[in-house]
């Protein structure tokens, strides 16, 4: 099982399924670009308690990786749907 939709005569068209995923990918890429502006800057943590910058950086990287995983999953689904018979 992979959780991918199965194109059939009673369901959503292949084109609509793919387009929906690619639209979401485009939006997530825009979000990643905007999120890049949120990257922690060490200068903003100079007076923070020790370790706060490292925590902020780790959190930022985890969030960025989550967006990247979502993009990859949606692209994989679109490829699967395009090739499904």
Sign of CA dihedral 9, 14, 17, 19: negative
How far, in Å, CA of 73 to CA of 71, rounded?
6
pLDDT, position 1: 58
Give the pLDDT of the chain (85 residues) as one tens digit per residue: 578 888 999 999 999 999 999 999 999 999 999 999 999 999 999 999 999 999 999 999 999 999 999 999 999 999 999 986 6
Model pTM? 0.86
The angle subtended at Cα 23 by Cα 22 and Cα 27, nearest 5°, is 115
């Amino acid at each position: 099982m992979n959780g991918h939709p199965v194109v059939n005569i009673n369901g959503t068209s292949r084109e609509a399924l793919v387009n929906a995923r690619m639209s979401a990918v485009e939006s997530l890429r825009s979000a990643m670009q905007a999120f890049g502006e949120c990257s922690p800057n060490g200068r903003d943590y100079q007076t923070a308690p020790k370790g706060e910058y490292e925590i902020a950086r780790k959190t930022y990287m985890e969030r960025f990786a989550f967006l990247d995983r979502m993009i990859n999953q949606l692209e994989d689904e679109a490829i699967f749907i395009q090739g499904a018979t």
